């Protein structure tokens, strides 16, 4: 294999991981924008998506039904969490709420351990077939599912926020929560929606990702952190920034793992996080805090 082929292979692998990171990162951004909370349980939403998929395909459900049902189940669980743990503590400061999300993540991981145990599970790819060759690189068909799903979901998110009335109301809440409230837009309702929508994105990420790797009860921890790094890279409040951050992180990690050492793969993500926080704390796409009065 030539160097060019290697690079192509790494970039494709990186974009696949990057798509997953992007979905998780967009989930972070949506919740952060609407509620001001950084939801550290985001990775656990990914894990739940993958694990429900494992169980549902395990009992013989066809893949499309299992996918839809898994997403719905994760949305229900997260909806309950939002009402039970976030909304009931609404007088708490954002920092306290962030700590609550860390607690939620630990609880979810613990429950997953009790339900599914420590065994890694394999999920069948959505479509059968051998590797596809592109140039000098080869990929498994599931990669196309990951990339396709990511693109589709992100397009849907964009459409929702830019072109629907409800999306505009959500954005109004992001731009000026006080004024939005004066229009009769309920911040509680918007927070609820942000959580379940973001949960759906993360669940989908877990579901399409599961056939590529093994699904385990603790897979959410690292995916959540990587998604967070991607979101910070993009400025934490910008959806396109989060997508870029996710893809960039995936590719950099993959190239780093390929050319340096795969042992440093996770380290690279956190070095990037530190560099961004030191050098450009607003993120690569972050806007400055100034605002026209």
What is the contact surface with other proteins in residues (CB under 8 A)? 165, 168-169, 171-172, 175-176, 178-186, 291-293
Between 181 and 213, whose beta carbon lies closer to other proteins?
A: 181
16 vs 33 by CB, closer to other proteins: 33
> Minimum CB separation from other proteins for residue 164, in Å?
11
| CA-closest candidate to residue 23, choices 209, 192, 160, 175 | 209
DSSP codes of every residue in the chain:
--HHHHHHHHHHHHHHHHHHHHHHHHHHHHHHHHHS---TTHHHHHHHHHHHHHHHHHTT--HHHHHHHHHHHHHHHHHHHIIIIIGGGTTS-HHHHHHHHHHHHHHHHHHHHHHH-S--B----SS---PEEETTEEE-HHHHHHHHHHHHHHHHHHHHHHHSHHHHHHHHHHH-HHHHHHTT--HHHHHHHHHHHHHHHHHHHHHHHTTTS-B-TTHHHHHHHHHHHHHHHTTSS-HHHHHHHHHHHHHHHHHHHHHT-GGGHHHHHHHHHHHHHHH-TT-TTPPPS----
The nearer residue to other proteins, 84 or 188, going by C-beta atoms, is: 188
Instruction: Give the nearest distance from C-beta 168 to other proteins in angstroms.
Output: 5
Q: Which is nearer to other proteins, 169 or 222 (CB)?
A: 169
Beta carbon of residue 165, minimum distance to other proteins (angstroms, whole number): 6
Q: Which is nearer to other proteins, 178 or 278 (CB)?
A: 178
Separation CA 143–CA 60 (nearest Å) = 23
Q: How far is the CB of 163 from other proteins (least distance, A)?
A: 11
Q: How far is the CB of 34 from other proteins (least distance, A)?
A: 14
* Cα Rg of the chain, angstroms: 19
- Closest distance of CB 68 from other proteins, Å: 27
Q: How far is the CB of 187 from other proteins (least distance, A)?
A: 9
Between 227 and 283, name the residue whose CB sits nearer to other proteins. 283
| Widest CA span in the chain | 63
């Amino acid at each position: 294999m030539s160097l060019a082929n290697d690079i192509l292979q790494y970039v494709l692998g990186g974009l696949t991981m990057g798509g997953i990171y992007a979905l998780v990162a967009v989930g972070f951004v949506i919740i952060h924008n609407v509620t001001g909370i950084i939801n550290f349980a985001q990775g656990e939403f990914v894990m739940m998506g993958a694990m429900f998929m494992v169980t549902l395909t395990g009992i013989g459900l066809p893949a499309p039904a299992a996918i839809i049902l898994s997403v719905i189940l994760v949305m229900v669980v997260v909806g309950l969490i939002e009402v039970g743990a976030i909304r009931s503590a609404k007088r708490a400061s954002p920092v306290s709420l962030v700590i609550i999300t860390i607690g939620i993540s630990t609880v979810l991981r613990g429950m997953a351990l009790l339900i599914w145990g420590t065994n890694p599970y394999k999920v069948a790819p959505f479509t059968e077939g051998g590797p596809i060759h592109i140039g000098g690189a080869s990929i498994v068909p599931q990669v196309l599912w990951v990339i396709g799903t990511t693109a589709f979901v992100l397009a849907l998110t964009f459409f929702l926020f830019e072109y629907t009335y409800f999306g505009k109301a959500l954005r109004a809440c992001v731009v000026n929560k006080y004024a939005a409230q004066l229009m009769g837009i309920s911040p509680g309702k918007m927070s609820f929606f942000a959580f379940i929508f973001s949960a759906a994105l993360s669940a989908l990420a877990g579901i399409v990702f599961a056939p590529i790797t093994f699904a385990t009860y603790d897979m959410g921890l690292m995916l959540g952190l990587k998604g967070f790094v991607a979101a910070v890279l993009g400025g934490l409040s910008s959806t396109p920034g989060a997508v870029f951050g996710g893809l960039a992180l995936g590719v950099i990690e993959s190239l780093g793992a390929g050319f340096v050492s795969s042992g440093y793969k996770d380290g690279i993500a956190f070095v990037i996080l530190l560099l961004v926080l030191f050098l450009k704390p607003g993120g690569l796409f972050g806007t400055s805090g100034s605002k026209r009065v």
